[in-house]
Amino acid sequence: MKTDSIFYQIFLEFPEFFFELINQPNTKTQTYEFTSREVKQLSFRLDGLFLPTDNNPNKPFYLVEVQFQPDDDLYYRIFAELFLFLRQYKIPNPWQVVVIYPSRSIEREHNQHFGNILASSQVQRIYLNELSETVSGSLGVGVVKLVIEPETQAVNLAKSLISQAQEEIIQPKIQADLINLIQTIVVYKLPQKTRKEIEAMLGLSELKKTKVYQEAFAEGKDEGEAKGKDEANLKSVSNMMRLGLTLETIAEYLDLPLEEVQRLVKLTENRNKEE
């Protein structure tokens, strides 16, 4: 399971979840853009950046790193990339580094080099297995924690999150998008199950017949027609590729022929080369 891709997809579609995770739930997420940025001279890319989109120089930008495997070089790389990024782009905003771990046992601190900087207010380390001690009831944090939930408990948590989404999210399209994201995370966690089996386990078969889903589907259809079906499918395929889904799974999920998905994948690759 490509956990970093899952997290970046969560933050891309629901940036408010990131700010809930760092205990800044009142942040106006429309003033931030979640993006990546290349440091050209050295050919590396910072994949998780929340950059302010307004002109407030006091608002921080966030460098986000998801780390689910021990890495002795992690902090050497993060801070080297951060300061090279600042040198190249000279962003006026203060920086914040957020590192997300499943647990403390994964972290390699190297306090002899980074002790002071890790203890500063500009670095926040989040250990997902400890969130329940300090955060409860947050829909966003619950979705994030679903990523590390054991398989035996993932379905129950997913069903609880779906119910919470139905209660808290009024907009049909946003509610449907979040429920689909929750389903996608469970698909990752239970690769031996088909999408239809997971849909039944989560009780989504009946849910998708409700008025909320019908409205969301109609809204999505209108948006797709406005942008063009090809572009809509291209964006979906691109996002699913980032999540590491197989072409067969993408084809099943989008209800497209495998040959059409292969064509869209080639188109995506060509566009990436041109950028």
Q: Say whether both 71 and 179 belong to one domain.
A: no
Predicted local confidence at residue 249, as pLDDT: 76
Tell me the pTM.
0.74
* Residue 227: pLDDT band with limits 50, 70, 90: very low
Q: Are residues 122 and 207 in the same domain?
A: no
Question: pLDDT (tens digit, 9 = 90+) per residue, 8-40?
Answer: 889 988 999 999 999 898 999 999 988 887 776
Domain match, 50 and 120 both: yes
In a domain, 141, yes or no: no
- What is the C-alpha separation between 248 and 222, in angstroms, rounded? 26
Chain segment 28-72, per-residue pLDDT in tens:
999 998 888 777 655 567 778 999 988 899 999 999 999 999 999
Distance CA 80, CA 33 (A): 23
Same-domain pairing of 15 and 51: yes
The reply to whether 2 and 35 lie within a common domain is yes
Q: How many domains does the chain have?
A: 3
Question: Which position has the token pair 């106006």?
Answer: 28
pLDDT value of residue 178: 92
Higher-scoring residue by pLDDT: 221, 169: 169
Please report whether residue 219 resides in a domain. Answer: no
114 and 157 belong to one structural domain? no
User: What digits encode the pLDDT tens for the residues 120-138?
Assistant: 999 999 999 888 655 567 8
What are the structure tokens assigned to 142, written together?
A: 């619950």
Shared domain check, 115 and 58: yes
Domain co-membership, 108 together with 37? yes
7 and 132 share one domain: yes
Question: pLDDT higher for 93 or 232?
Answer: 93
Q: Is residue 63 part of a domain?
A: yes
221 lies in some domain: no
Residues 128 and 244 reside in one and the same domain = no
pLDDT band, very low/low/confident/very high, at 162 (cuts 50, 70, 90): very high
Give the end of a domain, one of 110, 136, 162: 136
User: In the predicted model, is pLDDT for residue 221 greater than 70?
Assistant: no
| Strand 95-101 with 123-127, pairing | parallel
CA angle 245, 198, 205 (to 5 degrees): 120
**Domain endpoint, select from 106, 136, 166:** 136
User: Structural domain of residue 180, as residue ranges?
Assistant: 149-213
What CATH number does the domain containing 22 carry?
3.40.1350
222 in any annotated domain: no
pLDDT score at 226 = 44
Domain membership of residue 7 (yes or no) is: yes
Instruction: Please answer whether residues 215 and 207 qualify as being in contact, where contact means their C-beta atoms are separated by less than 8 angstroms.
Output: no
What is the per-residue pLDDT for 134?
53
Residue 237 lies in a domain: yes
- Looking only at the bridges linking them, the beta strands covering 61-66 and 44-52 are antiparallel
- Quick one: 163 and 203 in the same domain? yes
